[in-house]
Amino acid sequence: MAGENKWAIRPEETPVIRPRRLRSTAAMRRLVAETRLHPAELILPVFVREGISEPVPLAAMPGVVQHTRDTLKAAAVEAVEAGVGGLMIYGVPEVQDAAGSEGTNPDGILQQAIRDVIAEVGDEIVVMSDLCLDEYTDHGHCGVLAEDGSVDNDATLARYAEMAVVQADAGVHVVAPSGMMDGQVRVARRALDEHGHTDVAILAYTAKYASAFYGPFREAVGSSLKGDRKAYQQDPGNAREALRELELDVAEGADLVMVKPGMVYLDILSAVAEASPVPVSAYQVSGEYAMIEAAAANGWIDRDRAIMEALTALRRAGAEQILTYWAVEAARNLRQG
């Protein structure tokens, strides 16, 4: 017949099952959403630097600064007001040495910052601290070096045990061993318990990969690293190894576990989340943050949508907590709907 559209679907082909019905309006999409973000699931990483009088902006991480002790307290209050669930504090000392001595100095910058934040916000937010030596060593590695220049695993464990205790003495709620030393969770748990800190929890960096996406973070903590950390961080090609690390960390007393980085290791995050008997966190690392900020600054992507999409991906893959430099901004956006 003239004018008939030969490509039109026949009546018997009219779809009966139409998934688009559940995408029709914003209200419908909210109703059936499978993955939801909540401000309380977000953890804000913060840097506090010794010997500065004003915050120092980080060139590779627009909007992120190295805080003074006073501005860190203000940032903690801001995070509480936004409904953020936790703070992860990293200390940046004035002096570094081979042993990372400032990491175990009771009056070191990290321990002072912990006391400051606890005094300011108390238990209104979970205060966490990085338990690693790379910020404090003049060689930039996460542990003590042996004579041949390699990282001495067991000598490093002794330093970690001492660090755990001084951080707990300062009042921290959670310590986070991040150096990927064998046995780090076990020695931290034993040291905490032997010194009366049985209530201090451990967030284990369980699957921490030797990633190219940590670059901007090195600026943030003033790292002096020469070379790489491939001898102790995981190989990016390995997946099964992450599950072995999970099993060990849980057996050694980890209360929470982490996958780092997040976005480019969603498969690892999903596998760990499926297997883990304890809560699972993911770290949206500095390089991931920097890429989105740079692309948005060039007008290549919608910044706000990209941020929330990236966070949703981590949550969808199984992260129950997400460390992100956008924690306060994202929390505010979530609360505003």
Please name which of 120, 43, 40, 117 lies closest in space to residue 83, comparing C-alpha atoms.
Answer: 40
Query: Is 124 part of a structural domain of the chain?
Result: yes
Query: Is 191 part of a structural domain of the chain?
Result: yes
Q: Categorize the per-residue pLDDT at 222 as very low, low, confident or very high, splitting at 50, 70 and 90.
A: low
Domain housing 85: 37-335
Query: Is 15 part of a structural domain of the chain?
Result: no
Cβ-Cβ contacts under 8 Å for 317 (sequence gap 6 or more): 266, 267, 269, 270, 273, 282
Query: Is 111 part of a structural domain of the chain?
Result: yes
On the question of pLDDT at 60 being above 80, the answer is: yes
Distance CA 268, CA 282 (A): 10
Enumerate the active-site residues.
208, 260
* CATH number of domain containing 128: 3.20.20.70
Token pair recorded at residue 46: 């913060």
Query: What number is the average pLDDT over the span 96-107?
Result: 93
User: Residue 129 belongs to what H/E stretch?
Assistant: strand 126-131
On the question of pLDDT at 106 being above 90, the answer is: yes
Query: Is 19 part of a structural domain of the chain?
Result: no
pLDDT more than 90, % of the chain: 78
For the chain, the domain total comes to 1
Q: What was the pLDDT predicted at 12?
A: 81
What are the pLDDT digits (tens) for 160-194?
999 999 999 999 999 999 998 999 999 999 999 99
On the question of pLDDT at 225 being above 80, the answer is: no
Query: Is 13 part of a structural domain of the chain?
Result: no
Query: Is 306 part of a structural domain of the chain?
Result: yes
Q: What was the pLDDT predicted at 38?
A: 96
CB atoms inside a 10 Å sphere around CB 119 = 11
Query: Is 77 part of a structural domain of the chain?
Result: yes
Token pair recorded at residue 98: 């081979």
Q: Categorize the per-residue pLDDT at 150 as very low, low, confident or very high, splitting at 50, 70 and 90.
A: confident
